[in-house]
Structure 1
Amino acid sequence: MAIVEKRLYPRLSLRVEDGYFGNFRLDDQETLVAPIVNISAGGLCMVADARGKIRQGAIFILRNIIGGANFSFVSEISGDIRWIKQLGSPNQVSVGCRFHNMTDSLRLQLTKFVDSERMVRGQYD
């Protein structure tokens, strides 16, 4: 039986080794730099230190993304932390984030970027 995709926006799967890092400002004004393991026009998933101040429901600003392909068009995107899951390592968690109030033009640009990168990486069915 085929898996049915329930996501509104296709996501680009990344590995920590790919070297894409999000630069975040949390709602307590603390900064966080964390590897991104997937991204779509709807949000992203990152890996963070479980000992940090990450908490479900927290608001953040994604200031920019560094590494790999050109993400210069991604800046100052607000969002919230939807879920946190423990990873195999005792000090690492997977953090699911949703973007808020993204302009239509930025959402379209990010969607096109994700589609293009998925094609290059063979991530289409």
Structure 2
Amino acid sequence: MTDEKRLYPRLSLTLEDGYFGHFTTADQQTLVASIVNLSVGGINIVVAKADQDKIKEGDTLTLIDIAGNTQLSFLSDVIGQIRWIKDLGVPKFVSVGCRFEDLPEPSREQISRFVDTERRTRGQYN
């Protein structure tokens, strides 16, 4: 049993999985980041410290698209709010957690199905 308090199951990914999100910041700067987990509620990305000055907690990011899996092509122009930024303990990257804002129900359902299928495939169910 886990003490995790998440509202939605999440799919854990590795950098080697090759999922990358293309984002724009509120002031239209671009940002490319590796996706390390995904759920209906939001996304966790790894951002280069060189790009950290483009973002801060409370900012919004727009997910333009995801490269690395055509099954996620429906997920575009999604607004997320940066909830936290954490040091990863590695020299060049930080972890950033974003909560999706006003995600349309069809997109929520598609993410849920994708996460469920991928978790089963990867053995991420207890």
Global fold match (TM > 0.5): yes
User: Quick check: 1:18–1:68 contact (8 Å CA) kept in 2?
Assistant: no
Kindly state the Cα deviation for residue 70 of structure 1 after the two structures are TM-superposed: 2.1
Tell me the SS of whatever aligns to 1:75. coil
Stretches of structure 1 lacking an aligned partner (at least 5 in a row): none
1:41-120 to structure 2, matched below 5 A, reads: 41-52=40-51, 53-68=54-69, 70-120=71-121
The one-letter code of the counterpart of 1:78 is I
Moved more, 60-69 or 28-37: 60-69
Kindly state the Cα deviation for residue 49 of structure 1 after the two structures are TM-superposed: 1.3
Identity %: 53
* TM-score where L is the length of structure 1: 0.94
> Structure 1 runs of 4+ off > 6 angstroms?
none
1:33-63 alpha-carbon deviations (Å, 9 max, x no partner): 1100000010010000123212111111101
What's the counterpart of residue 19 of structure 2?
A: 20
* TM-score where L is the length of structure 2: 0.94
Structure with greater helix percent: 2
| Alpha-carbon distance between aligned partners in 2 of 1:41 and 1:95, rounded to the nearest angstrom | 16
Count how many residue pairs are aligned between Structure 1 and Structure 2.
Answer: 124
RMSD: 1.1
User: Quick check: 1:85–1:93 contact (8 Å CA) kept in 2?
Assistant: yes
Stretches of structure 2 lacking an aligned partner (at least 5 in a row): none
User: Quick check: 1:34–1:46 contact (8 Å CA) kept in 2?
Assistant: yes
Tell me the SS of whatever aligns to 1:51. helix
